[in-house]
Chains A and B, each alone.
With several copies, the nearest count.
Chain A
Amino acid sequence: MIRVQRETFDVGAEIASLCAGDTAAGGVCVFLGRVREFAHGAALQAMTLEHYPGMTERQLEALDAEAQRRWLLEKTLIIHRYGRLLPGEAIVLVVTAAAHREAAFDACRFLIDCLKTTAPFWKAEETAAGSRWVDARAADDAAALSWQDGAAAGGS
């Protein structure tokens, strides 16, 4: 299941609702991405996430389907926000539930690694010096690439 939304989300409620009534998922892995105050040296006042409505949902759905194809998963959830966010606010949530923890961990990491390099979101950081677009990280490309040959674990 995927959601792209402006408003924040309740991490506990999302996990609880995903797992409600489920007695097959022994392992649940969650990744929560948050806005950091000191991202690139300067104090961040806010971050604005622009996205490509329509393509974003398609990309997240495709990633979700790929994870379900690669691992035996009971449940998956991806929520990604857009708009203006303050330090400490949640940006993205990935939840994977599986019978065993290995699949839950691998799928969760796969989803966030690949999301970062394929989902059309762009961050602009606001500091005292003004607003500027964040450049893509080479490390993110490497992490996403590490999954291309069906690797079981993400990059270091």
Chain B
Amino acid sequence: MLTILYFASVKEKAGCGEETVRLPAAVTDVMGLVAWLRQRGGGPAAALTDLAAVRVAVNQEYARLDHPLTGDEEVAFFPPVTGGAP
């Protein structure tokens, strides 16, 4: 099973912070997952409309859209980070 996490403004748009899905066999990378979530509709589809404002991590490491997925990863979508101090 694949765990999907959403954080901050992406979480607000997605309407949930975490979901677990069985990855369709046709989905083999992050871009495929995004396409599938967009097609599925709802909050997550809206949250992933503008990918320019979304960062991706796979298993808690930053990842690109062509990062391969086997179906048992932890994938996180979130906006550019704003921690630290002024």
Contact = CB atoms under 8 A, between A and B. Distances in A.
Interface of A: 26-27, 31-34, 36, 39, 49-52, 54-55, 58, 80, 91-92, 99-101, 112, 115-124, 133-137, 140
Contact of A120 (B12, B78, B86): B78
B6 to A, nearest CB: 10
B85 A55 contact: no
B61 interface: yes
Contacts of A120: 7, 57, 76, 78, 81, 83
Contacts, number: 93
A55 B83 contact: no
B57 A136 contact: no
Contact of A27 (B7, B60, B81, B85): B85
Interface of B: 5, 7-9, 12, 57, 60-62, 76, 78-86
A100 B86 contact: yes
A50 B8 contact: yes
Which of A50, A100, A112, A118 has most chain B Cβ within 10 Å? A50
A101 B57 contact: no
For the complex of A and B, 3 pairs with smallest distance between CB atoms: A33-B85, A121-B83, A26-B86
A49 B76 CA distance: 17
Given A50-B8, A133-B9, A121 B76 contact: no
